[in-house]
Structures are given as C-alpha cells and as structure tokens.
Chain A
Amino acid sequence: AQTIHQWPVAEIKAVGSPLSLGCTIKGKSSPNLYWYWQATGGTLQQLFYSITVGQVESVVQLNLSASRPKDDQFILSTEKLLLSHSGFYLCAWSLDWTNTGQLYFGEGSKLTVL
C-alpha cells in the first residue's frame, strides 16, 4: 500500500527565516506530486506539481520554490519567509495523468510565521 509522509508536522518560524518542508511517498513509483497551501479559513490552493524527477511546474507564485530531488520526494522551500506564508501545507500524489484530480493527501504541515 502507498503511504505519504510529510515533515515537519508543525513549525513556528520568524519572518525572514528560511523554510524547508518535505514529503515522501512510499509504495508507488513515478507518482505525480503536488503541493497545496491552505490559509486559515481559506481553500486549498495548488502551488506546484511534478510529474517526474527534476521537473517542477509552478501554479501560483507565492515566493516559494519546490524541488523533486528523488522519485519519491518533494520539497517545498523558501529562503525568506513572509507573514503571508502562514497556513497549512499539504503534499499529495496521484497515479498518473489519466487519473488527475484523484489526489491522495499527506497529513500536512502547519506553518506559523511570526
């Protein structure tokens, strides 16, 4: 069975500090991977997606970047956090392009920027 794990579960960071959130998928080779962000009380907003190692597409510009260094790993990062980055970050995977939209989400990482 496929599992998806996100880390860290929660972070409290200062404005201007760097950030790195991670996501690992086990039990599925070459998944499509996604990062979503949810501001408090807001909807799930897609940030990035990746269909293969080394390739990442940006959907929304929020002064964040993403990388896929391995087939099973997706990293979200920034060098300088803004207050507006606070929220809940969800990593997700899907089988392939034929099943796009059927997403399997991780547990999420809660980010508080002070």
Chain B
Amino acid sequence: GDSVTQKEGLVTLTEGLPVMLNCTYQTIYSNAFLFWYVHYLNESPRLLLKSSTDNKRTEHQGFHATLHKSSSSFHLQKSSAQLSDSALYYCALSGSSNTNKVVFGTGTRLQVLP
C-alpha cells in the first residue's frame, strides 16, 4: 500500500538558517497528491502545501516544495527559518484523486532556536 517516510523525527536549527525537511513516498498511482501539513502546538493540523505536478515548485508562506516523481520525493524547504516556524510537520500522500485514503508520515518536529 501507499506509504510516506520522514526520516528525521527532530530537526533543530538556529533562526536564519535554511530549512529542509525530507519526505519520500511509495505509491502505485502515477497521479498521486503530496501534501505538507503543519501542526502548531494547541492548534489543529493545517495544510501548508500540496502538489501533484512533477517537477513544479509549490510555494506558500515562505515554504516551498517540488514533487519529484523520479525519486518519489517531496522535500519541504525554506530559505531562512523563523522562531515561529517551530512546529510538527507532516508529509502526506493521497494515492489517487478519487480515493479517500490519505496516508501521513511520522512527522518531523522542527525546533528553531534563537
């Protein structure tokens, strides 16, 4: 079945440094949707980015990600981390546009220090 791998459980970095959170996936569907959700403390998880287009950069709120189907990756990046970026980030996969099964990775906690 579909699966998502986020190898880093915790990423700690200093404010101002670039952010990269890794996400790889497995699916048999060629038109899979990939998502990044952000979960701030005491809030509900919310969508940050989504893409289903190969090699197209998607941006939102300073974050960006590019879906690379050749390597089954959808890494989340930001040029300069802010303290307010500290949160739990989930990569998620919907294997087909007409399925209601959305698979989440284990999440990466981003901790930005001053």
Binding site for B on A (CB under 8 A): 32, 34, 36, 42-46, 49, 51, 57, 59, 90, 94, 97-98, 100-108
Contacts and interface: CB of A to CB of B under 8 A. Distances in A.
Interface of B: 33, 35, 37, 44-47, 50, 90, 92-94, 96-107
A50 B50 CA distance: 22
A101 B92 contact: yes
A105 B97 contact: no
Given A49-B100, A97-B100, A101-B33, A43 B44 contact: no
Given A100-B33, A102-B35, A102-B50, A45 B104 contact: yes
A30 to B, nearest CB: 13
10 contacts: A34-B100, A43-B90, A43-B107, A44-B45, A46-B104, A51-B100, A100-B99, A100-B102, A102-B47, A105-B46
B100 A57 contact: yes
Contacts of A90: 44-45
Given A46-B101, A100-B100, A108-B44, 13 more contacts: A36-B104, A42-B106, A44-B107, A45-B104, A90-B44, A97-B97, A100-B33, A100-B94, A101-B35, A105-B44, A105-B46, A106-B44, A107-B44
